[in-house]
Amino acid sequence: MDNQTLIYLFVGATFALYIGIAIWSRAGSTSDYYVAGGGVHPIANGMATGADWMSAASFISMAGIISFVGRDGAVYLMGWTGGYVLLAMCLAPYLRKFGKFTVPEFIGERYYSQAARVVAIICVIFISFTYVAGQMRGVGIVFSRYLEVDINSGVLIGMAIVFFYAVLGGMKGITYTQVAQYCVMIFAYMIPAIYISMLITGNPIPQLGFGGTLSGSDTFLLDKLNGLSQELGFNQYTAGSKSTVDMFFITMALMVGTAGLPHVIVRFFTVPKVSDARKSAGYALLFIAILYTTAPAVASFARVNLLETVSEAEYQQLPEWFESWENAGLLAWKDKNGDGKIQYQAGKPFAGKPSFDGDARGASNERIVTNEATDNANELYVDRDIMVLANPEIAQLPGWVIALMAAGGLAAALSTAAGLLLVISTSISHDLLKSNLMPNIDEKKELLAARFAAAAAICVAGYFGINPPGFVAQVVAFAFGLAASSFFPAILMGIFYKKMNKEGAIAGMVSGLVFTFAYIIYFKFVNPAANTPDNWFFGISPEGIGTLGMLLNFVVAYVVAKMTPPPPEHIQHLVEDIRVPRGAGAPVADH
Amino acid sequence: MSDNNQNAQAYWKENVKLLLTLLLVWFAVSYGCGILFVDALDTIKIGGFPLGFWFAQQGSIYTFVVLIFVYTARMNTLDRKYDFHEE
């Protein structure tokens, strides 16, 4: 069978599986719809959380980024996993004991205030839409590369699939679909990684091969990589180029942001007991760690492969994959010195993304790039995303591995999109309608409203996928910064500081949010030219500013709480109650 | 009631102590070994890994997983000790 048939077969089979699961586990009540009835086994919940959390960015882009920045990639590796320690110990068990459906619900009740609830709803919707727009685009890109449809049709197919299991199945449908998606994506990631590790280092475990020697020599892989990088004028792979302050703040913002993201938190409402919430955070991180410890290994293998294959190679002698990714616009070569060989060195070959002169071919039969050349010696443009997507081809793996990658990339993007869409629909139907605007709505109508909201959210997300706002890549920093500076402190103080009152919490959330928002807007949109370390506050980049926003939130909340009356007696009892595990039943459908 | 209350307070105190201890390890391994002292640790090599680089890209993640499972086990013991475990 040829590759294309295999891809259709794999992608088709996984989609049939997801839809089958959605029909089997469709939601019958609001409790099913919001928290899967509260009866998910902690291991299943761990897998679902893993799929929910690992997005197209984790699956496709992360290893590629690490591959180009070397040690600095640690901000993502540590930042996106370390947050689970905070979640498991500081938030998950207590929120599970609280036993309701959503994050704004906790904030609204703990701070006995509709205003606090509304601030939380706005944050949830903003954070989730920011995030989901990127996912839908990811779905479109993966489809267009593998199914040979255009990106827009890819987005539409993705919307149809998500519509099916998110609208029909709610949290219950999503949970079990995500379990399947986790399995698909981890197989898809690990199989090429294991193959390539065997080829390059002779060790089948990528995590170990990474620190091993190259097959048939005594040179360590990382030493080889450092040597190659320096020869070509790049930074040493194992040395960082970001400042220590910035590394610290970005890592912290990503960790705390992870712990504060609503679609992750809500997954811990779905297990039966408090002890299960703790356990399932452990399983979630274990399942995530399988991919996250493989990613830096894949990054270094891909880097060695790329440098060795393309550097000083004659264009016409290059393997076939170079041309297919050049055709996809993710590789581009501009022969500045006209010697027919590829010079790959540090620096940009030309300004911006490549634009091609149609299908026209140059002297060596390369696609002609029309961008203005820069004055350094580098001739090669490499899109970071190909480091993962092209890896199986570069290593000449069999066709079914490539088909598996396609299915895995789609599973990663679809599972995260579905989780986010559900959070959006829940905030609208439950927090906004049921708890705020129309408290008398009955369960059946609420369920219907949730389904309508999910359908509407899918349409909006699809619109962003088809017409991506130019700022999608930049606004992901928003999602984490805002989660870090608003939710995390409010929830943490709600549990650990009995005397925190509504005035303090609202003042803290608002000041953290406004500060973080303003800082990012200023450097990303108002004055992007000034976005350099000299102009940053204490050398903190916009990606890391959420950490400062969080600290501001804590300080403001504490000061305001000291100057205003303490929370009422029954709230202090509520806090005492969520601190002990006994008495956490399944959340009741009607409350 | 006040007995139960004292019980809950003692439970909470032990819980917070455990949490702070584990978070100290969390901080030392990730921010300490992976960021603040990474260059000093890089002078030590284990196999092909400079140690600081290994903590930044691998070691800290392994530690996080272990920390959560240690926490889970200790909390289950604590739940039983103070009779707050769920049936």
Q: Are the beta carbons of A282 and B65 separated by less than 8 Å?
A: yes
Q: What is the DSSP letter of A385?
A: T
- One-letter amino acid for residue A335 of the chain: D
Length of chain B counted residue by residue: 87
pTM above 0.80, yes or no: yes
Residues A291, A293, A298, A299, CA torsion sign: positive
Q: Can you give the pLDDT at residue A537?
A: 85
How far B36 CA sits from the closest chain A CA (Å)?
7
Q: What are the φ/ψ torsions at residue A240 (nearest 5 degrees)? A: -90, 165
Q: Is A468 exposed, middle or buried (0-12, 13-18, 19+ CB in 10 A)?
A: middle
In order, the DSSP letters of A142-202 are: HHHHHH---HHHHHHHHHHHHIIIIIHHHHHHHHHHHHHHHHHHHHHHHHHHHHHHHHHHS
| C-alpha–C-alpha distance, residues A185 and A59, integer Å | 8
- Which one of A238, A282, A580 has the shortest CB-CB distance to B11? A580
| C-alpha–C-alpha distance, residues A469 and A473, integer Å | 9
Q: Can you give the pLDDT at residue A330?
A: 80
A284-321 residue pLDDT tens: 999 999 999 999 999 999 888 888 888 888 888 888 88
Q: From B6, which residue of chain A is nearest by alpha-carbon distance? A: A576
Q: Can you give the pLDDT at residue A534?
A: 83
- A383-392, A468-477, A502-511: least confidently modelled range: A468-477
Q: Are the beta carbons of B67 and A85 separated by less than 8 Å?
A: yes
Q: From A277, which residue of chain B is nearest by alpha-carbon distance? A: B72
Chain A residues whose CB is inside 8 A of the B57 CB are: 66, 71, 73-74, 77, 296
A314-339 residue pLDDT tens: 888 888 888 878 887 788 888 888 88
- Which one of A213, A244, A274 has the shortest CB-CB distance to B36? A244
Between A166 and A88, whose confidence is greater? A88
User: Does residue A579 belong to the interface with chain B, where contact is any CB pair within 8 Å?
Assistant: yes
Q: Can you give the pLDDT at residue A549?
A: 95
Q: From A580, which residue of chain B is nearest by alpha-carbon distance? A: B84
Q: From A289, which residue of chain B is nearest by alpha-carbon distance? A: B61
pLDDT at A439 exceeding the cut of 70: yes
Q: Can you give the pLDDT at residue A135?
A: 80
Q: Can you give the pLDDT at residue A588?
A: 47
Tell me which of A53, A66, A85, A574 to substitute to probe the interface with B (most B C-beta atoms closer than 10 Å). A85
Q: Are the beta carbons of A580 and B30 separated by less than 8 Å?
A: no
| C-alpha–C-alpha distance, residues A516 and A542, integer Å | 8
Question: What is the pLDDT averaged over residues A89-94?
Answer: 93
Average pLDDT, chain B: 90
Q: What percent of chain A has pLDDT over 90?
A: 32
- Which one of B48, B83, B85 has the shortest CB-CB distance to A221? B48
Q: Are the beta carbons of A279 and B72 separated by less than 8 Å?
A: yes
- Which one of A74, A248, A582 has the shortest CB-CB distance to B84? A582
Residues A211, A214, A215, A218, CA torsion sign: negative
Residues A461, A462, A465, A467, CA torsion sign: negative
Q: Can you give the pLDDT at residue A591?
A: 42
Q: Can you give the pLDDT at residue B1?
A: 46
Q: From B40, which residue of chain A is nearest by alpha-carbon distance? A: A239
Q: From A296, which residue of chain B is nearest by alpha-carbon distance? A: B57
Q: Can you give the pLDDT at residue A470?
A: 55
C-alpha closest to that of A412 among A79, A84, A43, A58: A58
Number of Cβ within a 10 Å radius of residue A456: 14
Q: Can you give the pLDDT at residue A178?
A: 92
CA dihedral A463, A464, A469, A471 (to 10 degrees): 170
- Which one of A88, A239, A579 has the shortest CB-CB distance to B71? A88
| C-alpha–C-alpha distance, residues A440 and A557, integer Å | 34
Q: Can you give the pLDDT at residue A585?
A: 60
How far B61 CA sits from the closest chain A CA (Å)?
7
Question: What is the pLDDT averaged over residues A538-557?
Answer: 92
Q: Is B61 exposed, middle or buried (0-12, 13-18, 19+ CB in 10 A)?
A: buried
Between A51 and A588, whose confidence is greater? A51
Q: Can you give the pLDDT at residue A530?
A: 83
Q: Which two tokens stand for residue A208?
A: 């170990």
Q: How many inter-chain contacts (A to B, CB under 8 Å) are there?
A: 135
pLDDT at A263 exceeding the cut of 80: yes
Q: Which two tokens stand for residue A414?
A: 């679809």
Chain A residues whose CB is inside 8 A of the B68 CB are: 84-85, 88-89, 278, 281-282, 285
Question: What is the pLDDT averaged over residues A29-43?
Answer: 86
The highest-level CATH class for domain A3-302+397-469 is mainly alpha
Average pLDDT, chain A: 87
Number of Cβ within a 10 Å radius of residue A365: 10
CA dihedral A367, A370, A371, A374 (to 10 degrees): 80
Between A559 and A460, whose confidence is greater? A559
- Which one of B34, B62, B72 has the shortest CB-CB distance to A282? B72
Q: Where does the pLDDT of residue A477 fall: very low under 50, low under 70, confident under 90, or very high at 90 and above?
A: low
Q: What are the φ/ψ torsions at residue A351 (nearest 5 degrees)? A: -75, 140
In order, the DSSP letters of A315-363 are: GGGS-HHHHHHHHTTSEEE--TT-SSB----SS-SBSSS--EEEEEE-T
pLDDT at A471 exceeding the cut of 60: no
Q: Where does the pLDDT of residue A589 fall: very low under 50, low under 70, confident under 90, or very high at 90 and above?
A: very low
* Domain ranges for chain A: 3-302+397-469
